[in-house]
């Protein structure tokens, strides 16, 4: 007996052979001729195996007619396969759907040619009129204009629970530091400190409250620029705004209004680009990691010219991380040397500036590490979803006789 297959493929073969699909368990099906199914039904009844007999009787009572109506098919693929689609679409000026259709059509045309050859000697197994019905639908599908929404290339990121709260804390520290720098440069140093003190976003309780009230948003994105493709990881989080049970930001806005006056407060907020709104929270986007991404003919993926290791290659990821962070580690060592000199000469104002520089470098290094962790997570999972529309009968034929896997189709097309 043949190996059990998917339900749609079994239904297609049952229609093609005038047989019936019978469930084999684990969402797989066997295909029997009607004569075989009738004999098997009698055997099961005589053996008092009524549950199995019921399934055969149910299958014999139904008719299977795959149609030319359009259905939506979604595939979950790995990031390298998704990147191949992006790269090929960029090179050819086509859409994902057109690319996938072209490869499916080529494969199915070969399959139908083989089936037609077989049907010449086994006409009872593969009736020519049914094969023509598949061929006609395939030709019609090939001529159809593809209507597809513009690709945003926003990546589906796997859930990363172990990074969330720590990442909130580090990113909020970065926002506070950059906000203080902006305010100081614009002559609003004290006012900025007061605003931060009033909103108290650096308070540990507040950070935990924000983390619990507004889930983290880790985003991956591919950005096309001519022939180059860049990969970005961003952490989108809420740092200021109204909370569900805590109107601290609204209260802060009213109090600062009294202290500074409306004009000065508006000027301060404009400089800092921090809109304190009463209705909606204010979101910040922190870049974790970004760089040029390349897919080689060998299917290896490069990030900023460095080969991305396999997910389980611990030593490879350590080396990759060290190379990405080299400019930070080199700069950190340089600042530490300057700090030693400043300490020995008791230049404490310079010590203050250098320790702040080390804090910034350390914090930014942590953020980039989270970006590298995101890259590793993305590379190690089939998280990308690709969907397109096609005739049901074509999908059934492809699942019955073709690869039935978008990943395998891409692998074959990419060679």
pLDDT in tens, 98-151: 888 888 898 999 888 887 776 555 444 678 888 889 999 999 998 887 666 556
CA distances from 167 to 162, 288, 327 (A): 9, 10, 22
Work out the average pLDDT over 318-324.
94
- The answer to whether position 115 is within a domain reads yes
- Tens digits of per-residue pLDDT, 79-90? 999 999 888 888
Q: What is the overall mean pLDDT for the chain?
A: 83
Give the CA angle between residues 305, 307, 309 to the nearest 5°. 155
- Let me know whether 164 and 274 are in one domain: yes
Among 167, 169, 168, 176, residue whose Cα is nearest residue 197: 176
- The answer to whether position 111 is within a domain reads yes
Domains in the chain, number:
3
- The answer to whether position 2 is within a domain reads no
Judged on CB neighbours under 10 Å (0-12, 13-18, 19+), 109 is middle
Residue 11 binned pLDDT confidence (cut-offs 50, 70, 90): confident
- Let me know whether 293 and 192 are in one domain: yes
Q: Phi first, then psi: what are they for 33, rounded to 5°?
A: -70, 160
- Let me know whether 121 and 56 are in one domain: no
- Let me know whether 222 and 295 are in one domain: yes
Q: By residue range, what is the domain housing residue 32?
A: 7-60
- Let me know whether 213 and 321 are in one domain: yes
CB 79 within 8 A of CB 384: yes
Exposed e or buried b for every residue in 147-186, given b needs 16+ CB within 10 A? eeeeeebebebeeeeebbeebbbbbbbbbbeebbebbeee
- Let me know whether 127 and 227 are in one domain: no
- The answer to whether position 1 is within a domain reads no
Q: In this predicted structure, what is the pLDDT of residue 279?
A: 54
Residue 284 token pair: 């910040």
Sequence-ordered alpha helix ranges (H) in 61-163: 79-92, 96-121, 128-143
- Among 43-57, 219-233, 254-268, the range scoring the smallest mean pLDDT is 254-268
- Let me know whether 262 and 165 are in one domain: yes
Euclidean distance between CA atoms 357 and 363, whole angstroms: 10
Q: In this predicted structure, what is the pLDDT of residue 201?
A: 67
Q: In this predicted structure, what is the pLDDT of residue 260?
A: 82
- Tens digits of per-residue pLDDT, 221-230? 998 887 789 9
CB 397 within 8 A of CB 13: no
- The answer to whether position 300 is within a domain reads yes
Residue 3 token pair: 């190996």
- The answer to whether position 43 is within a domain reads yes
Residue 298 token pair: 């060998």
- The answer to whether position 218 is within a domain reads yes
Euclidean distance between CA atoms 120 and 244, whole angstroms: 72
- Let me know whether 262 and 407 are in one domain: no
Work out the average pLDDT over 240-249.
48
- Let me know whether 366 and 283 are in one domain: yes
Q: In this predicted structure, what is the pLDDT of residue 123?
A: 44
| pLDDT reading at 15 higher than 70 | yes
- Let me know whether 289 and 372 are in one domain: yes
Percentage with pLDDT > 90 across the chain: 23
Q: pTM score, two decimals? A: 0.77
- Let me know whether 168 and 37 are in one domain: no
- The answer to whether position 66 is within a domain reads no
- Let me know whether 170 and 139 are in one domain: no
């Amino acid at each position: 007996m043949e190996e059990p297959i998917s339900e749609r493929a079994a239904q297609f073969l049952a229609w093609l052979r005038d047989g019936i699909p019978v469930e084999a368990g684990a969402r797989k099906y066997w295909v029997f001729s009607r004569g075989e199914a009738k004999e098997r039904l009698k055997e099961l009844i005589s053996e008092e195996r009524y549950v199995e007999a019921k399934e055969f009787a149910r299958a014999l009572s139904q008719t299977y007619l795959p149609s030319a109506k359009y259905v939506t098919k979604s595939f979950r693929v790995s990031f390298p396969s998704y990147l191949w689609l992006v790269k090929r679409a960029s090179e050819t000026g086509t859409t994902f759907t057109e690319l996938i259709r072209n490869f499916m059509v080529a494969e199915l045309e070969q399959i139908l040619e083989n089936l037609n050859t077989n049907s010449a000697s086994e006409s009872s197994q593969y009736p020519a009129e049914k094969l023509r019905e598949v061929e006609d639908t395939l030709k019609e599908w090939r001529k159809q204009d593809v209507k597809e929404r513009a690709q945003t290339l926003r990546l589906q990121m796997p859930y990363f629970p172990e990074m969330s709260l720590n990442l909130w804390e580090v990113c909020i520290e970065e926002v506070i530091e950059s906000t203080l720098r902006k305010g100081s440069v614009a002559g609003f140093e004290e006012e900025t400190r007061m605003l931060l003190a009033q909103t108290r976003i650096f308070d540990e309780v507040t950070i935990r409250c924000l983390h619990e009230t507004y889930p983290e948003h880790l985003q991956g994105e591919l950005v096309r620029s001519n022939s180059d493709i860049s990969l970005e990881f961003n952490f989108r989080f809420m740092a200021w705004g109204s909370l569900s049970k805590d109107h601290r930001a609204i209260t802060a806005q009213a109090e600062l209004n009294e202290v500074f006056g409306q004009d000065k407060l508006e000027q301060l907020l404009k400089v800092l680009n921090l809109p304190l709104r009463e209705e909606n929270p204010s979101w910040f986007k922190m870049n974790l990691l970004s760089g040029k991404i390349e897919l080689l003919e060998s299917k290896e993926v490069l990030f900023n010219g460095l080969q991305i290791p396999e997910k389980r290659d611990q030593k490879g990821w350590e080396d990759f991380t060290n190379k990405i962070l080299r400019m930070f580690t080199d700069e950190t060592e340089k600042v530490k040397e300057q700090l030693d000199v400043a300490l020995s000469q008791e230049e404490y104002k310079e010590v203050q500036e250098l320790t702040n520089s080390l804090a910034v470098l350390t914090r930014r290094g942590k953020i980039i590490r989270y970006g590298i962790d995101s890259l590793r997570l993305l590379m190690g999972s089939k998280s990308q979803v690709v969907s397109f529309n096609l005739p049901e009968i074509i999908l059934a034929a492809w699942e019955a006789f073709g690869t039935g896997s978008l990943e395998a189709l891409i692998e074959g097309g990419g060679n």
